[in-house]
Structure 1
Amino acid sequence: MIKFRGWDNEENFMLQHKQLMNIMNSSELGYDIFEDPTYHIMQYSGINDYQNTEIYVGDVLADRYSKSTGIIFEVVEGEGKFQLLAFKRGFKMHTSTVIDFAPYKYRVIGNIYKNKKLLDIKIVD
């Protein structure tokens, strides 16, 4: 199932799929929330992490070794697929495809909108 969530830049909170659809359906003129700069829209990857949390574009993931390695991952969309960008101390290291690793290895620890500095912090249990 294709679904989305959206970060509301004005109110600083996350809208879930149903809320986004309600906003779109309430408009008489066929409002396109995807074009509105008020919202950052994130697509669901179709994959859940090992704790069964849905993984969306913009999520930040840790693996079981992140605490010792300091490496965490941002989910991005590119080249027609969902990808993981690996970061260590705020520096991009490499890219891999989400489907190659999730869900058995990763857990969602947040997203880049709720905490913009998440890619710079140390991972704690």
Structure 2
Amino acid sequence: MKLDLPIIKFRGWDNASNQMLPVEKIDFRENCISLNEGDNSLSDTFEMIDLMQYTGLKDVNGKEIYVGDIVKCTEIRGEELKEYVSAIEYDDCDLIVHESEMCDTCLSLFAPGIEKLPLTEIEVVGNIYESSELLEQI
């Protein structure tokens, strides 16, 4: 029997250099995280790097969605079109779109075993570190 385990990966925001890079290694014995992309690599302590976990989901363009990403949700309900911008967060073991009038609908998009609504799109438009100004639209 083959188990379908979720993909576990992270990217990290280095607070010292203000860079977002993929996580190469997490060393729990040394309390250190190594980030690496091409020629750009760095290592720092847990306190200096904020981890963003991959949700296992992709947006409408195929881009991976991480906790801390800022997404634009577009919903069609009957003849109504609703668009809103929000950050992806973990809350009580669920992935949610936070601070949104349509939060319940977005919760269902991320809940295990529930089909994605056919008339809803989610697009990654930034993240809480590099484009926090997008959250002012909430």
* TM-score normalised to structure 1 length: 0.70
Instruction: Give 1:99's aligned residue.
Output: 110
Partners of 2:12 and 2:50 within 8 A in 1: yes
Q: Does 1:15 align with 2:57?
A: no
Kindly indicate whether structure 1 or structure 2 has the higher relative contact order, using CA contacts under 8 Å at least 6 residues apart.
Answer: 1
Structure 1: gaps spanning 5 or more residues: none
TM-score (normalizing by structure 2): 0.64
CA distance in 1, matches of 2:32, 2:94: 23
Which structure has more strand as a fraction of its residues? 2
Question: 1:29-62, CA deviations, whole angstroms, 9 ceiling, x for partnerless residues?
Answer: 53344x7221111110000001010000100101
Q: CA-atom RMSD, angstroms?
A: 3.0
In structure 2, the CA distance between the partners of 1:120 and 1:69, relative to structure 1 (3 Å rule), is: farther
Larger radius of gyration: 2
Structure 2: 5+ residue runs without aligned partners? 1-6, 34-44, 76-80
Q: Percent identity?
A: 29
Contact 1:44/1:56 (CA < 8 Å) preserved in 2?
yes
From the two aligned structures, give the one with the greater helix fraction: 1
**Which residue is equivalent to 1:31?**
31
